[in-house]
A and B are shown apart, each in its own frame.
Chain A
Amino acid sequence: MSFINYLSREINCKLVYYGPGLCGKTANLQYIYNKTNPGARGKMISLATETERTLFFDFLPLALGEIRGFKTRFHLYTVPGQVFYDASRKLILKGVDGVVFVADSQIARMEANMESLENLRTNLAEQGYSLDSMPFVIQYNKRDMPGVAPVEELRQMLNPNNAPEFEAVAPTGVGVFDTLKAVAKLVLTELKKAGG
Protein backbone atom coordinates (compact mmCIF):
# COMPACT_ATOMS: atom_id res chain seq x y z
CA MET A 1 0.00 0.00 0.00
CA SER A 2 1.72 3.12 -1.19
CA PHE A 3 1.42 6.34 0.77
CA ILE A 4 0.85 9.55 -1.17
CA ASN A 5 1.54 12.80 0.65
CA TYR A 6 0.20 15.77 -1.32
CA LEU A 7 1.66 18.24 1.12
CA SER A 8 5.30 17.17 1.00
CA ARG A 9 4.74 15.85 -2.54
CA GLU A 10 6.07 12.42 -1.77
CA ILE A 11 5.06 8.95 -2.70
CA ASN A 12 6.27 6.04 -0.59
CA CYS A 13 6.20 2.42 -1.66
CA LYS A 14 7.12 -0.85 0.04
CA LEU A 15 9.21 -3.54 -1.64
CA VAL A 16 9.81 -6.94 -0.05
CA TYR A 17 12.66 -9.33 -0.85
CA TYR A 18 11.46 -12.89 -0.27
CA GLY A 19 13.19 -16.25 -0.63
CA PRO A 20 14.59 -19.28 1.18
CA GLY A 21 17.18 -19.02 3.95
CA LEU A 22 20.67 -17.92 2.87
CA CYS A 23 19.58 -17.11 -0.71
CA GLY A 24 21.05 -13.58 -0.50
CA LYS A 25 18.17 -11.24 0.34
CA THR A 26 20.19 -9.32 2.89
CA ALA A 27 23.18 -9.32 0.50
CA ASN A 28 21.01 -7.55 -2.09
CA LEU A 29 20.13 -4.78 0.37
CA GLN A 30 23.71 -4.50 1.59
CA TYR A 31 24.98 -4.01 -1.95
CA ILE A 32 22.32 -1.40 -2.68
CA TYR A 33 23.19 0.37 0.56
CA ASN A 34 26.93 0.39 -0.21
CA LYS A 35 26.51 1.64 -3.75
CA THR A 36 23.91 4.31 -3.19
CA ASN A 37 24.75 7.95 -2.64
CA PRO A 38 24.33 8.60 1.12
CA GLY A 39 22.03 11.51 0.29
CA ALA A 40 19.59 9.14 -1.38
CA ARG A 41 19.36 6.52 1.32
CA GLY A 42 18.74 6.25 5.05
CA LYS A 43 20.32 3.89 7.53
CA MET A 44 20.10 0.20 6.90
CA ILE A 45 18.55 -1.63 9.83
CA SER A 46 19.16 -5.35 10.28
CA LEU A 47 17.35 -7.25 12.98
CA ALA A 48 19.57 -10.31 12.95
CA THR A 49 20.68 -13.11 15.26
CA GLU A 50 24.20 -13.26 16.66
CA THR A 51 25.15 -15.44 13.72
CA GLU A 52 23.91 -12.77 11.31
CA ARG A 53 20.83 -14.63 10.20
CA THR A 54 17.84 -12.33 9.70
CA LEU A 55 15.59 -12.59 12.73
CA PHE A 56 12.78 -10.22 11.82
CA PHE A 57 13.70 -8.03 8.86
CA ASP A 58 16.26 -5.78 7.18
CA PHE A 59 15.10 -2.32 6.23
CA LEU A 60 16.56 0.19 3.80
CA PRO A 61 14.85 3.47 2.82
CA LEU A 62 15.79 4.70 -0.64
CA ALA A 63 14.94 7.86 -2.60
CA LEU A 64 14.85 7.27 -6.35
CA GLY A 65 14.20 10.77 -7.66
CA GLU A 66 11.24 12.81 -8.79
CA ILE A 67 8.38 12.06 -11.13
CA ARG A 68 6.24 15.03 -12.09
CA GLY A 69 7.29 16.89 -8.95
CA PHE A 70 6.63 13.96 -6.63
CA LYS A 71 9.59 12.51 -4.75
CA THR A 72 9.54 8.74 -5.01
CA ARG A 73 10.73 6.83 -1.98
CA PHE A 74 11.00 3.09 -1.66
CA HIS A 75 11.21 1.18 1.59
CA LEU A 76 13.08 -2.08 1.00
CA TYR A 77 12.46 -4.96 3.38
CA THR A 78 13.75 -8.51 3.54
CA VAL A 79 11.99 -11.34 5.34
CA PRO A 80 13.70 -13.97 7.48
CA GLY A 81 14.12 -16.92 5.14
CA GLN A 82 14.26 -19.74 7.65
CA VAL A 83 11.11 -21.86 7.54
CA PHE A 84 10.17 -21.45 11.22
CA TYR A 85 9.95 -17.65 11.01
CA ASP A 86 6.73 -17.81 9.01
CA ALA A 87 4.72 -15.65 11.43
CA SER A 88 7.25 -12.83 10.97
CA ARG A 89 7.19 -13.17 7.17
CA LYS A 90 3.43 -12.68 7.15
CA LEU A 91 3.78 -9.44 9.09
CA ILE A 92 6.38 -8.01 6.75
CA LEU A 93 4.23 -8.67 3.70
CA LYS A 94 1.51 -6.38 5.06
CA GLY A 95 0.99 -3.40 2.79
CA VAL A 96 3.53 -4.60 0.22
CA ASP A 97 3.57 -2.90 -3.19
CA GLY A 98 6.09 -5.11 -4.97
CA VAL A 99 7.90 -8.40 -4.38
CA VAL A 100 11.32 -9.69 -5.41
CA PHE A 101 11.75 -13.43 -5.09
CA VAL A 102 15.43 -14.21 -4.62
CA ALA A 103 16.06 -17.81 -5.66
CA ASP A 104 19.20 -19.72 -4.77
CA SER A 105 20.48 -21.14 -8.07
CA GLN A 106 22.21 -24.13 -6.50
CA ILE A 107 20.62 -27.43 -7.48
CA ALA A 108 20.69 -28.51 -3.83
CA ARG A 109 18.43 -25.57 -2.92
CA MET A 110 15.77 -26.17 -5.56
CA GLU A 111 13.33 -27.69 -3.11
CA ALA A 112 13.86 -24.82 -0.65
CA ASN A 113 13.15 -22.34 -3.47
CA MET A 114 9.91 -24.04 -4.38
CA GLU A 115 8.81 -24.28 -0.78
CA SER A 116 9.54 -20.59 -0.19
CA LEU A 117 7.72 -19.52 -3.36
CA GLU A 118 4.69 -21.55 -2.35
CA ASN A 119 4.89 -19.98 1.10
CA LEU A 120 4.96 -16.54 -0.51
CA ARG A 121 1.84 -17.31 -2.53
CA THR A 122 0.02 -18.60 0.55
CA ASN A 123 0.99 -15.65 2.73
CA LEU A 124 0.02 -13.12 0.07
CA ALA A 125 -3.31 -14.85 -0.50
CA GLU A 126 -4.06 -14.62 3.23
CA GLN A 127 -3.94 -10.86 2.83
CA GLY A 128 -5.97 -10.78 -0.34
CA TYR A 129 -3.07 -10.38 -2.76
CA SER A 130 -2.21 -12.57 -5.72
CA LEU A 131 1.36 -12.96 -6.86
CA ASP A 132 0.17 -13.17 -10.46
CA SER A 133 -1.47 -9.76 -10.44
CA MET A 134 1.03 -7.68 -8.47
CA PRO A 135 4.47 -6.21 -9.26
CA PHE A 136 6.75 -9.22 -9.04
CA VAL A 137 10.24 -10.10 -10.31
CA ILE A 138 12.49 -13.11 -9.82
CA GLN A 139 16.22 -13.06 -9.25
CA TYR A 140 18.31 -16.18 -9.80
CA ASN A 141 21.08 -15.48 -7.35
CA LYS A 142 24.44 -17.16 -6.69
CA ARG A 143 25.19 -17.70 -10.38
CA ASP A 144 28.90 -17.83 -9.46
CA MET A 145 28.54 -20.90 -7.27
CA PRO A 146 29.45 -24.40 -8.37
CA GLY A 147 26.53 -26.77 -8.92
CA VAL A 148 23.98 -24.24 -10.10
CA ALA A 149 20.95 -25.22 -12.14
CA PRO A 150 20.62 -23.87 -15.70
CA VAL A 151 18.40 -20.79 -15.92
CA GLU A 152 15.94 -22.64 -18.17
CA GLU A 153 15.40 -25.18 -15.44
CA LEU A 154 14.93 -22.51 -12.76
CA ARG A 155 12.48 -20.70 -15.01
CA GLN A 156 10.48 -23.84 -15.58
CA MET A 157 10.26 -24.60 -11.87
CA LEU A 158 9.86 -21.09 -10.44
CA ASN A 159 8.66 -18.76 -13.14
CA PRO A 160 5.93 -20.38 -15.23
CA ASN A 161 4.18 -17.02 -15.74
CA ASN A 162 7.25 -15.31 -17.15
CA ALA A 163 7.73 -12.59 -14.55
CA PRO A 164 10.78 -10.41 -15.29
CA GLU A 165 13.84 -12.41 -14.25
CA PHE A 166 17.48 -11.60 -13.58
CA GLU A 167 20.65 -13.57 -12.99
CA ALA A 168 22.62 -12.25 -10.06
CA VAL A 169 25.66 -12.51 -7.84
CA ALA A 170 24.48 -10.29 -4.99
CA PRO A 171 27.77 -9.76 -3.07
CA THR A 172 29.48 -8.38 -6.19
CA GLY A 173 26.38 -6.57 -7.38
CA VAL A 174 25.71 -8.46 -10.60
CA GLY A 175 22.01 -8.11 -11.37
CA VAL A 176 21.20 -6.35 -8.09
CA PHE A 177 20.23 -2.94 -9.45
CA ASP A 178 18.61 -4.47 -12.54
CA THR A 179 16.31 -6.40 -10.22
CA LEU A 180 15.53 -3.34 -8.10
CA LYS A 181 14.84 -1.12 -11.11
CA ALA A 182 12.56 -3.72 -12.66
CA VAL A 183 10.38 -4.11 -9.58
CA ALA A 184 10.33 -0.36 -8.89
CA LYS A 185 9.19 0.25 -12.46
CA LEU A 186 6.43 -2.30 -12.13
CA VAL A 187 5.25 -0.66 -8.89
CA LEU A 188 5.15 2.79 -10.49
CA THR A 189 3.37 1.41 -13.54
CA GLU A 190 0.82 -0.19 -11.22
CA LEU A 191 0.27 3.17 -9.48
CA LYS A 192 -0.23 4.77 -12.85
CA LYS A 193 -2.87 2.16 -13.73
CA ALA A 194 -4.59 2.61 -10.38
CA GLY A 195 -4.81 6.35 -10.93
CA GLY A 196 -5.96 6.20 -14.52
Chain B
Amino acid sequence: MAEPQMVMYAEEFHQIQGIVDSLVKSSNASVVFIIDKNGQLIAASGDSEHIDTTSLASLTAGNIAATGGMAKLLREREFTTQFHEGEKANIHIQLVDNRVILVVIFDKKTSLGLVRLRVKKSSESLGEIFQVLATKAQGSGQTPFAEITDDDIDNLFND
Protein backbone atom coordinates (compact mmCIF):
# COMPACT_ATOMS: atom_id res chain seq x y z
CA MET B 1 0.00 0.00 0.00
CA ALA B 2 1.12 3.52 -0.70
CA GLU B 3 0.68 4.84 2.82
CA PRO B 4 1.57 3.18 6.08
CA GLN B 5 -1.13 1.92 8.38
CA MET B 6 -2.20 4.34 11.11
CA VAL B 7 -2.44 2.55 14.43
CA MET B 8 -3.29 3.98 17.84
CA TYR B 9 -2.17 2.36 21.10
CA ALA B 10 -3.30 3.18 24.64
CA GLU B 11 0.04 4.61 25.81
CA GLU B 12 0.40 7.12 22.97
CA PHE B 13 -3.29 7.92 23.02
CA HIS B 14 -3.08 9.02 26.65
CA GLN B 15 -0.05 11.19 25.85
CA ILE B 16 -1.90 12.77 22.91
CA GLN B 17 -5.04 13.30 24.95
CA GLY B 18 -2.92 14.95 27.66
CA ILE B 19 -1.48 17.42 25.16
CA VAL B 20 -4.88 18.18 23.68
CA ASP B 21 -6.43 18.67 27.15
CA SER B 22 -3.69 21.04 28.23
CA LEU B 23 -3.86 22.96 24.94
CA VAL B 24 -7.55 23.69 25.53
CA LYS B 25 -6.68 25.17 28.91
CA SER B 26 -3.46 27.01 28.03
CA SER B 27 -4.91 28.61 24.90
CA ASN B 28 -8.33 29.19 26.45
CA ALA B 29 -9.92 27.56 23.39
CA SER B 30 -13.42 26.11 23.10
CA VAL B 31 -12.47 22.86 21.38
CA VAL B 32 -9.27 21.20 20.23
CA PHE B 33 -9.10 18.09 18.14
CA ILE B 34 -6.62 16.03 16.19
CA ILE B 35 -7.40 14.19 13.00
CA ASP B 36 -5.34 12.27 10.52
CA LYS B 37 -4.90 13.49 6.96
CA ASN B 38 -7.62 11.10 5.80
CA GLY B 39 -10.21 12.67 8.05
CA GLN B 40 -10.29 10.16 10.90
CA LEU B 41 -10.77 11.73 14.31
CA ILE B 42 -7.96 10.79 16.70
CA ALA B 43 -8.60 12.82 19.85
CA ALA B 44 -10.78 15.71 21.00
CA SER B 45 -11.00 17.93 24.05
CA GLY B 46 -13.11 20.81 25.29
CA ASP B 47 -16.72 21.45 24.51
CA SER B 48 -16.89 18.98 21.62
CA GLU B 49 -20.24 17.42 22.52
CA HIS B 50 -22.23 19.97 20.56
CA ILE B 51 -20.12 19.64 17.47
CA ASP B 52 -20.40 16.96 14.80
CA THR B 53 -16.71 16.08 15.05
CA THR B 54 -16.90 13.29 12.45
CA SER B 55 -18.13 15.68 9.77
CA LEU B 56 -15.79 18.42 10.87
CA ALA B 57 -12.85 16.00 10.72
CA SER B 58 -13.71 14.94 7.19
CA LEU B 59 -14.16 18.53 5.99
CA THR B 60 -10.94 19.69 7.65
CA ALA B 61 -9.02 16.88 5.98
CA GLY B 62 -10.60 17.88 2.65
CA ASN B 63 -9.58 21.45 3.32
CA ILE B 64 -5.99 20.48 4.11
CA ALA B 65 -5.88 18.24 1.06
CA ALA B 66 -7.13 21.08 -1.17
CA THR B 67 -4.60 23.50 0.34
CA GLY B 68 -1.88 20.90 -0.17
CA GLY B 69 -2.95 20.65 -3.80
CA MET B 70 -2.64 24.42 -4.18
CA ALA B 71 0.80 24.34 -2.55
CA LYS B 72 1.93 21.74 -5.04
CA LEU B 73 0.79 23.88 -7.96
CA LEU B 74 2.80 26.79 -6.54
CA ARG B 75 5.78 24.50 -5.95
CA GLU B 76 5.50 24.98 -2.20
CA ARG B 77 6.02 21.96 -0.02
CA GLU B 78 2.93 22.58 2.09
CA PHE B 79 0.93 25.41 3.63
CA THR B 80 1.02 24.28 7.20
CA THR B 81 -1.26 26.84 8.86
CA GLN B 82 -4.78 28.06 8.12
CA PHE B 83 -6.95 30.48 10.01
CA HIS B 84 -10.63 31.16 9.43
CA GLU B 85 -12.25 34.06 11.20
CA GLY B 86 -15.97 34.08 11.87
CA GLU B 87 -18.28 36.44 13.71
CA LYS B 88 -18.24 34.38 16.88
CA ALA B 89 -16.05 31.36 16.28
CA ASN B 90 -12.60 31.17 14.76
CA ILE B 91 -10.76 28.11 13.63
CA HIS B 92 -7.01 27.56 13.55
CA ILE B 93 -5.75 24.57 11.57
CA GLN B 94 -2.19 23.37 11.84
CA LEU B 95 -0.59 20.53 9.91
CA VAL B 96 1.74 18.65 12.27
CA ASP B 97 4.72 16.85 10.81
CA ASN B 98 2.80 16.46 7.53
CA ARG B 99 1.01 13.60 9.27
CA VAL B 100 -1.87 14.83 11.42
CA ILE B 101 -3.94 17.99 11.71
CA LEU B 102 -4.37 19.98 14.91
CA VAL B 103 -7.59 22.01 14.96
CA VAL B 104 -8.34 24.70 17.53
CA ILE B 105 -11.76 26.35 17.69
CA PHE B 106 -11.87 29.50 19.79
CA ASP B 107 -13.89 32.63 20.44
CA LYS B 108 -13.35 36.10 21.90
CA LYS B 109 -12.17 34.71 25.22
CA THR B 110 -8.71 34.32 23.74
CA SER B 111 -6.57 35.72 20.93
CA LEU B 112 -5.08 34.39 17.73
CA GLY B 113 -1.61 35.23 19.04
CA LEU B 114 -1.98 33.08 22.13
CA VAL B 115 -3.51 30.22 20.14
CA ARG B 116 -0.66 30.27 17.63
CA LEU B 117 1.93 30.31 20.39
CA ARG B 118 0.40 27.35 22.24
CA VAL B 119 -0.26 25.43 19.03
CA LYS B 120 3.39 25.75 18.06
CA LYS B 121 4.53 24.25 21.34
CA SER B 122 1.98 21.44 21.28
CA SER B 123 2.82 20.62 17.66
CA GLU B 124 6.39 19.82 18.57
CA SER B 125 5.38 17.34 21.27
CA LEU B 126 2.69 15.81 19.04
CA GLY B 127 5.15 15.41 16.18
CA GLU B 128 7.40 13.30 18.37
CA ILE B 129 4.56 11.05 19.54
CA PHE B 130 3.27 10.44 16.03
CA GLN B 131 6.78 9.62 14.92
CA VAL B 132 6.90 6.92 17.60
CA LEU B 133 3.49 5.64 16.53
CA ALA B 134 4.53 5.43 12.90
CA THR B 135 7.60 3.42 13.82
CA LYS B 136 5.55 1.11 16.05
CA ALA B 137 2.94 0.54 13.35
CA GLN B 138 5.58 -0.38 10.81
CA GLY B 139 7.25 -2.76 13.20
CA SER B 140 4.16 -4.59 14.38
CA GLY B 141 3.01 -5.90 10.98
CA GLN B 142 -0.05 -7.35 12.65
CA THR B 143 -3.65 -6.26 12.79
CA PRO B 144 -6.46 -7.53 14.98
CA PHE B 145 -7.90 -8.83 11.75
CA ALA B 146 -5.18 -11.41 11.29
CA GLU B 147 -7.25 -14.11 12.92
CA ILE B 148 -10.68 -13.34 11.59
CA THR B 149 -12.37 -15.89 9.40
CA ASP B 150 -14.46 -15.49 6.28
CA ASP B 151 -17.43 -16.41 8.46
CA ASP B 152 -16.73 -13.46 10.76
CA ILE B 153 -16.84 -11.17 7.76
CA ASP B 154 -20.00 -12.82 6.39
CA ASN B 155 -21.72 -12.51 9.78
CA LEU B 156 -21.23 -8.76 9.70
CA PHE B 157 -23.51 -8.60 6.69
CA ASN B 158 -26.30 -10.87 7.87
CA ASP B 159 -29.05 -8.42 8.61
Contacts and interface: CB of A to CB of B under 8 A. Distances in A.
Contact of A95 (B7, B38, B144): B38
Contacts of A92: 62, 65
Contacts of A4: 5-8, 143-144
A196 B146 contact: yes
B9 A7 contact: yes
Interface residue tally on B, bucketed by range: 35 or more
Interface in B116-159: 141-148, 150, 152-154, 156-157
B3 A70 contact: no
Nearest to A4: B7
Given A3-B6, A3-B8, A192-B146, A68 B52 contact: no
B143 A191 contact: yes
Contacts of A90: 69
Contacts of A56: 62, 66
B139 to A, nearest CB: 14
B13 interface: yes
Given A6-B8, A12-B40, A67-B148, A91 B62 contact: yes
A67 B145 contact: yes
Interface residues on A, range: 35 or more
B80 interface: no
A68 B3 contact: no
Interface stretch (B18-26, B53-61, B84-92, B107-115): B53-61
Contact of A67 (B1, B10, B36, B156): B156
Interface stretch (A24-32, A58-66, A163-171): A58-66
Interface string A92-106: 101100000000000
A146 interface: no
A94 B65 contact: yes
A44 to B, nearest CB: 9
A42 B58 CA distance: 12
Given A68-B152, A188-B145, A195-B145, A3 B1 contact: no
A47 B145 CA distance: 34
A11 B39 CA distance: 13
Nearest to B56: A45
A88 B37 CA distance: 15
Interface of B: 1-10, 13, 36-40, 52, 54-55, 58-59, 62, 65-66, 68-69, 141-148, 150, 152-154, 156-157
30 contacts: A1-B4, A1-B6, A4-B8, A11-B143, A11-B144, A12-B40, A42-B55, A43-B52, A43-B55, A45-B59, A56-B62, A59-B39, A61-B58, A65-B156, A68-B145, A68-B152, A70-B144, A70-B145, A75-B39, A75-B40, A87-B69, A91-B62, A127-B2, A128-B1, A185-B154, A188-B148, A188-B156, A192-B143, A192-B146, A195-B144
Q: Give the top 6 A-B pairs by smallest Cβ distance, nearest first.
A: A195-B146, A195-B143, A128-B2, A95-B38, A91-B65, A191-B145
Interface of A: 1-7, 11-12, 14, 42-43, 45, 47, 56-57, 59, 61, 64-70, 72, 75, 87-88, 90-92, 94-95, 127-129, 181, 184-185, 188-189, 191-192, 194-196
